[in-house]
Amino acid sequence: MSFTQSLPVAFAIGAAFGCTLERAGLGDAKKLAGQFYLQDFTVLKVMFSAIVTAMLGAFWLGRLGLIDLAAIYVPETFLAPQIAGGLIFGVGFVLAGLCPGTSCVAAASGRGDGLATVGGLLVGVLLTGLAMPLIGGFYASTARGPFTLPQLTGAPYGVVVAAIVLIALAVFAGVERLERRA
């Protein structure tokens, strides 16, 4: 195991992750819930600007030969369970007002609702894991392996990256207008 795979590095990266979530205010469930009532788009702004930053960074570092993109693990696609899981997750997200990462930050900043969400997550994952003999077929269905938007669309990597940047800028402009109206 290399140094960068080591547990102190995992802890340090996690600490930086937790710190940025807390700085953004994403430990506050009321703030996250505001997203779904068109009042406060902090979640979307933080998430989408983080995706765009890391996407552009990975693209350019790869293009300049500074990192080997082939060595980075791309989450495998299982389209049907991932869309079903997303639909279920979205309902839980509105109820809790937190997601797994932000629930840890909420709990760490003294919030009882964060701790309750953490407990619920553990129970939910545990029960679903126990039910795996029943749902394993669906869980493993529509497997596509590592499957990316450039592969799906046939468009070059750089074109997909540019398109997502443009979509992000349009979404940011739209939510700024919605927030001013709210």
H or E element that contains 145: strand 143-145
Size of the site for another protein (CB under 8 A): 123
Q: How many CA atoms lie within 13 A of 160 on its CB side?
A: 12
Closer of 57 and 174 to another protein (Cβ) = 57
Using rule CB under 8 A, residue 162 touches another protein: no
Give dist(CA 104, CA 14) in Å, integer: 11
Q: Nearest distance from residue 155's CB to another protein, in Å?
A: 10
- Which residues face 29 on adjacent strands? none
Q: Nearest distance from residue 167's CB to another protein, in Å?
A: 11
H or E element that contains 149: helix 149-153
Phi/psi region, residue 25 (left: phi>0; alpha: psi -120 to 50; beta: rest), is: left
Residues 94-113 touching another protein, rule: CB under 8 A, are 94-113
Closer of 63 and 144 to another protein (Cβ) = 144
Using rule CB under 8 A, residue 47 touches another protein: yes
Q: Nearest distance from residue 179's CB to another protein, in Å?
A: 10
**Residues 33/96, Cβ–Cβ less than 8 Å:** no
Using rule CB under 8 A, residue 152 touches another protein: yes
Residues 54-93 touching another protein, rule: CB under 8 A, are 54-55, 57-58, 61, 67, 71-79, 81-93
